[in-house]
Amino acid sequence: MLETLLERFRRHDRLALARLLSLVARGEQVEEILAGVGEPGSGAVSVPRGLARVVAVTGSGGVGKSTLIGKLIEPIRAQKQSVAVLACDPQSPLSGGALLGDRFRMPARPDDDGVFIRSLAAAGGYGALAEHLVDLIRLLEAFGFDVILIETVGAGQGDTVVRELVDVLVLLLQPETGDDLQWEKAGLLEVADVIVIHKADLPGAERVEAQVRATLALGTGSDVPVLRVSSRTGDGIPELWQTIAARPLRRRRQQSGRDLLRLAQQTLAARFAAAEAAGQSDLRQLLAAWQQGEISSAQAVSALVRFLANELET
Amino acid sequence: MTELHPLRVVLAKVGLDGHDRGIKIVARALRDAGMQVIYAGLWLTPEAVVRTVAEEDADWLGLSLLSGAHMTLVPRVLQLLREAGLEHVGVIVGGIIPENDIPKLLEMGVARVFGPGTPLPEIVSFLREHSGAGHA
């Protein structure tokens, strides 16, 4: 059942992607799925390499996150890049139900296979979702999307967790959003990589921009861009995408150590399974020698690692 | 699937029909019953609805039509679902549907037609009772 799904995923079947996203979002069979999509040499899909640009859009409810994401799809597609959207909405702590109403603000592009939009219910704010978010991102990356846009549930505060999982965190503000002391509160401006004064066609946008810039100027060495954008008129949308696309890929910079090790482990495990299934004589002899105590565990490990490394090259 | 998981229901309006009061009330009721409701919105083409069902991995699709175009639009959606390999997704229809058309829609493959005045718990229990094992 899962094997069939993974096979279809590797053949670029969007229904298989949709089903695997459901499983991972519920925390079911996550290890197996990630190992399955990450298996090297399987054709269209290779090891997830962290090549996608992952962008999170956050801000309080009603600030226009869905609408802006819908607008960003246009310049991304104009550059011939494919894009997946993960739109998160809160889940009721009482009933467990959720009304996921983000995608209807995004343009329907039924003929465009370069766009994939998925709604997610986030239980209790982030806790549970953030846990799976990294795996959902890996799944979309393995499918081959160039850009992954994540719409947060819209707290705007306490987004530090999400920041670590993405390359660029975009914070949306709008005119008439409290006084300038709001900006001094921890966890809002300081986590943003790009700040957008949204609904810039409304009066008061310049004032909010001035307040934000003044607050940022008090900090040290802040190079956070501040842009005025109106999704209604379209003003600032192309500039916003240019700005996002020019930001360094934080995730890949942080990925170097532990994530590379994890990918290596997955690759070696897959090679081991394949060699074992094929009844490789070198591997059998190595196992036998170790089981009979002819070589120490340390020696067996080095020999196994050498063996698997060679397997990779052939 | 071993664990129970909430039903995922896409609710949509197809064609030129701006009456969304009913579908929003149904959305609320299904949410309160613990389902994950994806509200796909108004004025959608059948193609856009089917694309949404595919991407959202939905268990059910609820179509609301008050425009009188149901005998054109519903069969089109059903056909596109089949073509997309989504025949496992159940389809329910709500709105203004004349009595005579209901058997025809059911014959085409609609699971149930809910007219005006349907008690909301009736929709909830129908979806629960007619979903495969493994759903909460």
At the fourth CATH level, which superfamily is domain A48-247? P-loop containing nucleotide triphosphate hydrolases (3.40.50.300)
DSSP state letters, B41-107: EEEE-HHHHHHHHHHTT-SEEEEEE-SS-HHHHHHHHHHHHHHTT-TTSEEEEEE---TTHHHHHHH
Backbone angles phi, psi at A60, to 5 degrees: -70, 165
* CB within 8 Å: A19 and B57: yes
Residue of A nearest to B44 (CA): A108
Q: Is residue B136 part of a domain?
A: no
Q: Is residue B77 part of a domain?
A: yes
Answer whether residue B3 is part of any domain.
no
Confidence of residue A264 (pLDDT cuts 50, 70, 90): confident
To the nearest whole Å, the CA of B40 is away from the closest chain A CA by 5
Residue A218: what pLDDT?
79
> By three-state DSSP, how is residue B12 classified?
strand
Which pLDDT score, from 0 to 100, does residue A254 have? 60
What is the reported pLDDT for A60?
84
Nearest CA in chain B to A26: B5
Across the interface, whether the CB atoms of B36 and A97 are under 8 A apart is answered yes
Subunit contact B28:A101, Cβ cutoff 8 A = no
- The per-residue pLDDT for range A99-114, each reduced to its tens digit, is 888 888 888 888 899 9
Write down the ipTM of this complex. Answer: 0.90
* pLDDT classification of A263: cutoffs 50, 70, 90: low
Whether B36 sits inside 8 A of A111 (CB atoms) is no
- Cβ contacts below 8 Å, chain A against chain B, sum to 86
Q: What is the pLDDT of residue A158?
A: 55
| Closest to A1 (Cα-Cα) out of A19, A13, A18, A14 | A19
Q: What distance in Å separates the CA atoms of residue A249 and residue A252, rounded to the nearest whole number?
A: 6
The structural domain count of chain B equals: 1
pLDDT for res A311: 66
More confident residue, A277 or A168: A168
Chain B contact set for A2 (CB, 8 A): none
Name the residue range of residue B46's domain. Answer: 8-109+117-129
Distant-in-sequence, close-in-space partners of B60: CB < 8 Å, separation ≥ 6? B7, B8, B9, B10, B89, B90, B91, B92, B127, B131
Mean pLDDT, rounded, of chain A: 83
* Residue A258 distance to chain B (closest CA, Å): 31
- Asked if residue B135 belongs to a domain, the reply is no
Q: Lowest mean pLDDT of A27-36, A38-47, A196-205, A289-298, name the range.
A: A38-47
Low-confidence ranges of chain B (pLDDT < 50): 1-3
pLDDT at A71 over 70: yes
Chain A residues lying within 8 Å of B57, measured CB to CB = 15, 18-19, 21-22
Q: Which residues of A touch B44 (CB under 8 A)?
A: 108
pLDDT at A47: 41
Query: Among the residues of chain A, which ranges form H helices?
Result: 2-10, 14-25, 30-38, 65-78, 127-143, 160-165, 205-218, 237-246, 250-255, 258-277, 281-291, 297-313
Question: Any idea what the CATH number is for the domain that residue B102 is in?
Answer: 3.40.50.280
Q: What is the dihedral of CA B90, B93, B99, B104, to 10 degrees?
A: -40
pLDDT digits (tens, 9 = 90+) for A194-241: 999 999 999 999 999 998 888 888 776 568 999 999 999 999 999 999
